[in-house]
Amino acid sequence: MEMPNLDALTTFFGVLSFVIGAMVGSFLNVCVHRLPQGLSVVRPRSRCPKCENPIAWHDNIPILSWLILGAKCRNCGTPISWQYPLVESLTAALFFLVYWKFGMTLASPVYMLLAASLVLVTFVDLTDWTIPNEVTFPGVPLGIGCAVMAMVYPESGLLLARPLWSIVGVLIGGGLLYGLDLLSLAILKKRGMGFGDVKLMAMLGAFFGPWGVLLILVIASFFGSAVGLTLILIGRAKDGAEDAGAALSEEGDEEDDVMTPGGHYLPFGPYIVLGGIIYLFFGPEIIERYMSYITVPGAI
């Protein structure tokens, strides 16, 4: 069988997407550290946090430098977190997958930007317990703008081509999470979600529409409760062991099970992001399949 000529080009752009993704991931690492502190993400150049030695360009090559340097600063030997290569390889893989799925369309750069934003949101939420407004505020109009673009230009490859559905997605996405927050406040007398989660879901609603956010919420809740329950069970087991050791101790009993040592709730943002990524690659197919079940009841 003869291979079409296009394959060399496809491979080239696939590799290029991966490399660009790794470079963007390297920049995201800077953002993860500096955005929550309100620092500039452009200046100054990256330094070792310990010895403050500026990092040379050849020691700042995504993924590779971390491996070559053996996860240590060249100057002072301070360990460098595995979070750096993780963010870089995740972003690289997502860029590659976006190109693989959407090819040479307008959708590819748009969804690469979205994927990069979601990686940033995940790691800021995991480390700082916030979701940066720097992502969600521009994300909403950008998502609506994309729906307009997709309507005008049908070959864009974008998943949502109806501006009205994009706006409805913002309202339903934000509204659903805001509702959950109020419900949690009423029943548990505690805030369930941060307002950052509300804005993140509104942003995904702008990109994926109302069906999109509904599916994302289902996926996020599924993985969120699976992980949450596991942690609660582990916590119970640990509490049990502690109780056996110090039966008379009354301290610490008021701590909530799903609270982390820092007294925060487990962040929900990363699960919303996971839902968003799954939707990006499989969402329309899942919804189409689901719709075919509910619109033809009893067809068998």
Contact set with Zn ion (CB under 5 A): 48, 50-51, 73, 75-76, 78
Coil, helix or strand for 47?
strand
Helix, strand, coil percentages for the chain (3-state, nearest 5): 70, 0, 30
Q: Any idea of the CA torsion for 255, 257, 261, 264, to the nearest 10 degrees?
A: -90
Measured from the CB atom, the residue of 78 and 133 that comes closer to Zn ion is 78
Measured from the CB atom, the residue of 75 and 130 that comes closer to Zn ion is 75
Measured from the CB atom, the residue of 59 and 181 that comes closer to Zn ion is 59
Q: Let me know the angle formed at the C-alpha of 150 by 144 and 151, rounded to the nearest 5 degrees.
A: 95
Minimal distance, residue 118 CB to Zn ion, in Å: 31
Angle between helices 195-245 and 133-152 (to 10 degrees): 130
Measured from the CB atom, the residue of 75 and 89 that comes closer to Zn ion is 75
Minimal distance, residue 24 CB to Zn ion, in Å: 25
Alpha-carbon dihedral sign for residues 193, 166, 143, 208 = positive
Measured from the CB atom, the residue of 67 and 104 that comes closer to Zn ion is 67
Which among 134, 171, 117, 157 has a CA at the least distance from the CA of 39?
134
Measured from the CB atom, the residue of 9 and 76 that comes closer to Zn ion is 76
Minimal distance, residue 76 CB to Zn ion, in Å: 3
Number of H helices, E strands in the chain: 8, 0
Minimal distance, residue 46 CB to Zn ion, in Å: 11
Minimal distance, residue 30 CB to Zn ion, in Å: 16
Distance CA 215, CA 224 (A): 14
Minimal distance, residue 59 CB to Zn ion, in Å: 10
